[in-house]
């Protein structure tokens, strides 16, 4: 299911959500090597080497985070010709990497357009109401805490892995978990692929609950081949963290107000509690 809109107006402007979306887009478009080439299909060895060096410096590497085993040689971003042909040049790192700080920087990195747009879509739809309930500062701290929990959970289970972990998925999953706790009966418009994309209005508990179940199933390795390159366990951990943090706020969460404008051709008639 692809969410497109929730029937849950916010009382204040979600400035932090907007800022997080803008920061993720800017980092991807402006600072991530090879983005322009990915649009034109002109990505070459030089772009790949620069991207490898970029991720090595700013992404989370479970082995580094858990064991503090920093590599002696890292990609420099340059290309060269070795005994086996052209490749990426490696050398001693010219920077001091903090594995703990890399968890923060990795939250703003994405592996491609679909990765970025998928995360930002969920954050756009569900983040405003969670921010509205928590307040701007607490919401930002909440978002970062969920991202850290997700990264550490994945790294603990994959402590020997040298593969980089990137993306806002863990933090966004925390937002989804909080939304499920705070607004389980709010209606969400989704597109369901069935021959064509069918628009349906479903309760948030069904939309987000089914999403979580799929992530949990995939994290166990069921239904996917080798779990692919997606850190499903990080999604599960972030979601659970979001639920637990938001739970104390549930009794004081006001029900959403029914909007006074038409929604997809139908005027709202009631609030959802």
pLDDT digit string, tens, across residues 77-106: 777 766 666 778 788 888 888 999 999 999
Q: What is the tens place of the pLDDT at every residue in 190-226?
A: 998 877 888 999 999 999 999 999 999 988 775 444 4
Q: Of all residues in the chain, what percent carry a pLDDT higher than 70?
A: 85
As a whole number of angstroms, the distance between CA 99 and CA 71 comes to: 12
Q: How do 74-82 and 85-91 pair as beta strands? A: antiparallel
Q: Which of the residue ranges 158-167, 215-224, 225-234 has the most confident prediction, judged by mean pLDDT?
A: 158-167
CATH T-level topology, domain 2-253:
Rhomboid-like fold (1.20.1540)
Question: Which helix (H) or strand (E) covers residue 179, if one does?
Answer: helix 169-182
Q: What pLDDT does residue 257 have?
A: 59
pTM, full prediction? 0.86
Query: Would you say residue 188 has pLDDT above 70?
Result: yes
Domain residue ranges in the chain: 2-253
The b/e string for 74-104 (b: 16+ C-beta within 10 A; e otherwise) is: bbbbebeeeeeeeebebeebeeebebeebbe
């Amino acid at each position: 299911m692809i969410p497109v809109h929730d029937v849950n107006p916010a009382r204040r402007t979600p400035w932090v959500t907007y800022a997080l979306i803008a920061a993720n887009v800017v980092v991807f478009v402006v600072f991530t090597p090879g983005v322009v080439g990915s649009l034109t299909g002109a990505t070459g060895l030089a772009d790949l080497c620069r991207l490898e060096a970029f991720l090595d410096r700013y992404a989370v590497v479970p082995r580094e985070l858990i064991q503090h085993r920093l590599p002696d040689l890292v990609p420099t971003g340059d290309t060269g010709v070795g005994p086996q042909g052209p490749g990426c040049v490696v050398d001693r790192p010219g920077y001091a990497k903090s594995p703990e700080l890399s968890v923060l920087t990795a939250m703003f990195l994405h592996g491609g357009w679909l990765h970025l747009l998928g995360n930002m879509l969920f954050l756009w739809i569900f983040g405003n109401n969670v921010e509205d309930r928590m307040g701007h500062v607490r919401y930002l701290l909440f978002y970062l805490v969920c991202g850290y929990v997700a990264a550490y959970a994945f790294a603990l289970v994959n402590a020997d892995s040298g593969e980089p972990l990137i993306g806002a998925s863990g933090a966004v999953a925390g937002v989804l978990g909080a939304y499920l706790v705070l607004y389980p009966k709010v209606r969400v418009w989704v597109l369901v692929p069935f021959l064509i994309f069918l628009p349906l209005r479903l309760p948030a508990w069904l939309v987000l609950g089914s999403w979580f179940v799929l992530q949990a199933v995939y994290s166990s390795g069921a239904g996917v081949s080798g779990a692919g390159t997606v850190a499903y366990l990080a999604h599960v951990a972030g979601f659970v963290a979001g639920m637990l943090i938001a739970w104390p706020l549930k009794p004081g969460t006001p029900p959403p107000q029914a909007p006074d404008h038409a929604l997809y051709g139908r005027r709202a008639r009631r609030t959802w509690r």
